[in-house]
Structure 1
């Protein structure tokens, strides 16, 4: 691994690192139970449409028309959207951790995430992510999705930082492998405590006292 003193920029995933996943399998199964939907049909339709939604080529309304409202329902799209938005939760300690590292080490912070536009906007606004993230390389904005290496190349171009000066926090091993193949140092996030230890090992100590 490169010298930790060279790290000037953090790339961070949103779902799984800062926040819970925006619309994962567990949330869909909970939606099926809450709204009395056929869980298998919901899952099948989701997988047929969600990549297009996350790539910014389908609105949330159009996604729901294909996945849920292809037949008459006893509830409205607005009710279902509110349920979807309500699944997002902050991962304990992680937002505060990244805020603190940014301030302590004068880091640039760039979010690199696969998220649909409406969910992304809700999560940025609700959890005030724009208060410490300098740029959002969201799949819905750039029409690229991880694991496509181009989304990381684009993030490097927009951040205007060489790959060896970046540390990437991610919870998905495949995406870490892609980033490391481009020369981006990466740490797999599993939980707050282990991430703090791993960050300290590369010179970004959350508990370091400022001079």
Structure 2
């Protein structure tokens, strides 16, 4: 009987997996409503610069300057930044799941995410992700973004893990498909229960699940 290849690394997205999305269209719409901004104009300006911003080639000050503060506003940059950061909330069950899997299976935990440097730093610090995650392959650090397949190859190299021994969790189907194309077993994250079931199918059980 052929033995299953053991999983040694778990690659995981942050937005809409471990935490809410940091600065998605829903958060931007809330910001436009809260600060009485022209939503269509703000969104168009965001669209023109967000990839460069997430790749770490445009600073936070430059980003908000181009997207919001290109004209005089009745609020400050600090007020807008605080609102942006406040959009981030944790998914405690998912964080606890990854924590248990890491402990039980001695997994390397590698974040592969598209995030700007300031939002990324805030989320790592606030939710103490650095206590859980071994390596952050964040777009702002490596100057490339999903869906670029090179970001997954870099994650494999830095984790020193063969593709067949990694599992990737992401909420975006296309990113899941790209990782699968590189030989990484992948899970389209929809909810906690279905992700637990898929992880179990790869042999990644937690003690809690076994006892239940």
TM (norm. structure 2) is 0.95
* Structure 2 unpaired stretches of 5+: none
Distance 1:69 1:124 in 2: 26
1:158 corresponds to which residue?
Answer: 158
1:17 corresponds to which residue?
Answer: 17
Quick check: 154-163 or 199-208, which moved more? 199-208
Distance 1:79 1:155 in 2: 35
1:193 corresponds to which residue?
Answer: 193
Distance 1:159 1:198 in 2: 22
* Structure 1 unpaired stretches of 5+: none
1:205 corresponds to which residue?
Answer: 205
1:85 corresponds to which residue?
Answer: 85
Aligned-pair Cα RMSD in Å: 1.4
Q: Cα deviations across residues 148-202 of structure 1 (Å, max 9, x unaligned)?
A: 0000011111001100000001110000111011111101110111111111121
| Aligned partner of residue 102 in structure 1, secondary structure | helix
TM (norm. structure 1) is 0.96
Q: Which runs of 4+ in 1 moved over 6 A?
A: none
In the TM superposition, 1:1-211 aligns within 5 A as 5-206=5-206, 207-208=208-209
Residues 18 and 90 in structure 1, CA contact (< 8 A), matched pair in contact too: yes
Distance 2:10 2:110 in 1: 6
Distance 2:114 2:50 in 1: 11
| Aligned partner of residue 58 in structure 1, secondary structure | coil
1:92 is displaced (CA, Å) by 4.0
Q: Cα deviations across residues 43-74 of structure 1 (Å, max 9, x unaligned)?
A: 10111111110000001110000000000000
1:209 is displaced (CA, Å) by 5.4
| Aligned partner of residue 81 in structure 1, secondary structure | helix
Distance 2:3 2:20 in 1: 31
Q: Cα deviations across residues 73-94 of structure 1 (Å, max 9, x unaligned)?
A: 0000010000000000112411
Residues 5 and 164 in structure 2, CA contact (< 8 A), matched pair in contact too: no
